[in-house]
Every structure is written in structure tokens, then in C-alpha cells.
Amino acid sequence: MIKYFSIFLVVSLFIFSSVYAQRVKADTIKGIEHEIIIQPMTHGTLVLSWNKTTIYVDPYGGAELFTGITPPDLILITDIHGDHTSLKTLKGLSTKNATFIVPTAVAKILQTDYANQLKVIKNDEVTDFSGIKITAIPMYNLPEDKETRHPKGRGNGYLLSIDGKTIYISGDTEGIKEMRALNNIDIAFVCMNLPYTMDINQAADAVLDFEPKIVYPYHYRGNPDVSDTKAFKKLVNNKNKKIEVRLRDWYKK
């Protein structure tokens, strides 16, 4: 019995170590009272931790990706596509104590399994969770037409006010007027993957308009290409050196 337990322990530690080794190192931002921990995960997925509150954004990539990470108190989901609303990933996670903040279209997908945990907000609506103000920001493709992959009003980007810091999560969007009109953004996560969102030139142009203090390029793997985030950084900093462009490997293996 002891022998089998030892084997199980070794295997478990190996799996944990392997997953952890593949994870990009977390960043720490100082809030007014507490630290905000930013953990890049994969593609459009990240984890934020603040004052004993853990937030999962678009959990995707399989539950094993989240090995060793505290279960979520809050889950933000931006859109209906499988790299944002991943039932397979969600069902493998410990989410029984989590509140889901989602757009209406996502709520329809999650209704069967998570009905009592859903809080629906639409573009421009505001809610709060444990001292965090959450605003739904439009996210959509340009031009707006019937063929668009991301029509205006279906999905949400999110603006989070946490401990004196404002964090913008773009979701799948282009350099829309609502993004360009943002003010006083401390941290921004901005997508850039063709053909689903925008290229690095449009992303850089939008970022230069709203001037976040820190910007993370994320969601930058498209079909078939991966966006050149180093070129994005150069485009931004050639015109504004004050914007800190943080490049992280969201597809680390």
C-alpha cells in the first residue's frame, strides 16, 4: 500500500512540476493596499489575484493548465467561442464557489450547468464583486456587417477597478472607438490575431490613442500565423516610450 502511495505521490508531483514549469512567471502590481498578481495562462486566458480574491478570465486550455492555482472566486467570460467559453475546461475546474460574470449569449451556453452562479451584464453596464468595480466594454469587428465573427453587443470586454488600478481586458475586438476613448488605464490586455481580431498595426494605433501605462499583447495566435509582438512593441515605443509593453509567452510549452 505504501509502495503504491509513493508511486502516486511521485507521479502527482511530476505532473504538478511539469505544468508549473510550463507556466510563465506571474507579475506583481502594487495597489493602494494590496498587490495585484497577474498570471498569464494561454491565448486569451489569464488569472488575476488580489486580496484573497482569484479571478479567472476566459478559462480555456484544459483544467490541468490551472494545476496549483487557487480555485476562482470570480470568472469573467467575454464571448461564446470555444477559446473563451470552454465547457470542457470549466467542468474540470473547482467552480462551485465562483460567480460568473458573462454576456447574455454566454449565459445561454452556461445556463444548464451554472444557472445559479451567473450574473449577466451587457455592454456599458456596471456591476461589482468584493470591492471590484466591473464595467462591460463593447468588443466587435470592423466593419460592422452580417458576416462579422464578433458583432457588436454579443460579447464583453471588461474594465476592472481594483485597489486604485484600472485594468482593461479587450476580448476579441478591433481598434474600436470605445477602446480608443478609454482614459487612465493602468494595465491593458490587447488582442492581435488575424483573421479574428486585428493586426499589430491597428492594435498599436489604438494603444497609442488610449495610452495605457502597461500593455500586454495577448490572444495573438491566429490562423495560420502568430502575430509579431516584438514588432508591435516597436510600433508603440517608436511613438510613445512611456507605454511599457510587456511581452510574455502566452503559448509556452
pLDDT mean over 99-115: 98
For cell 496549483, the residue is 68
Residue spans per domain, the chain: 25-245
Portion of the chain with pLDDT greater than 90, in percent: 87
pLDDT at 238 over 60: yes
Q: Which CATH number fits domain 25-245: 3.60.15.10, 3.90.1150.10, 3.40.50.300, 3.40.50.1010?
A: 3.60.15.10
Average pLDDT, rounded, for the chain: 92
Return d(Cα 236, Cα 243) in angstroms, integer: 7
Q: How confident is the model at residue 22 (pLDDT cuts 50, 70, 90)?
A: low
pTM across the whole model: 0.91
